[in-house]
Amino acid sequence: MSYGTSNVQGLTRKINEVMIESKNLKLDVAVITETKKKGQGSESMGQYDPFYSVSKDRRAQQGVSVLIKRNLRKHVHSWEAISERTIKINMTVRENRITIFGVYGINDDSLVNVKEKFFEDLNNEITKVGKTREIIILGDLNCRLGKSTDSQVVGPYRKDTKNNNGNRLITLWYVYIGALRRERAARAPSVVCALHLLF
């Protein structure tokens, strides 16, 4: 499957443009952040079915949407609007059990306790998925990861800038993958060691 992500700063007037661009890029799954779309739900629109999540209680300021290509909709067996910044899609494609998280991260200059809660909640949601599914995290996580030649998370072809959110995301990845690898080595060959970060 092919994946993509984009921050649109308001989806309502740009939905057709986003659909055309996703089609032109031949994306199967696209995560759109900062949608500012009110409510939560799913629709059928052209070649894509959007699933979206935004706060219902106040004026929409964040929001995240996952566009699934129409021919893959039959593989979606559940989805959940976790918050106005996180949405989860569970799919099974060719016997591959996949969970996709569409995420719009907290700004790096937000209060420390707000960032801690966001990353703690994300970690809890990842943990709830279990250990037999491939997990893909897509979106705008407001992270700068720097670059590295000896990291399992960061490659050498990025800008050499790192921020606090980037450090938190790297830690989340190492904690999750480290625990899975230890469990798999101990006695659980069915554990899937796959957490992909695409943003």
Residue 32, domain CATH: 3.60.10.10
Amino acid identity, position 56: K
Domain count of the chain? 1
- Domain with 177, as residue range(s), is 3-198
Q: State the pTM of this model.
A: 0.79
First CA to last CA distance, the chain: 16
Express each pLDDT in 106-132 by its tens digit.
Answer: 888 889 899 889 888 988 898 888 778
Express each pLDDT in 145-164 by its tens digit.
Answer: 778 777 766 777 777 788 88
Express each pLDDT in 46-67 by its tens digit.
Answer: 788 888 776 555 555 678 888 8
Contact 136, 100 (CB under 8 A): yes
- The CA–CA distances, whole Å, from 21 to 16, 82, 89, 118 equal 9, 27, 22, 30
CB atoms within 10 A of CB 92: 12
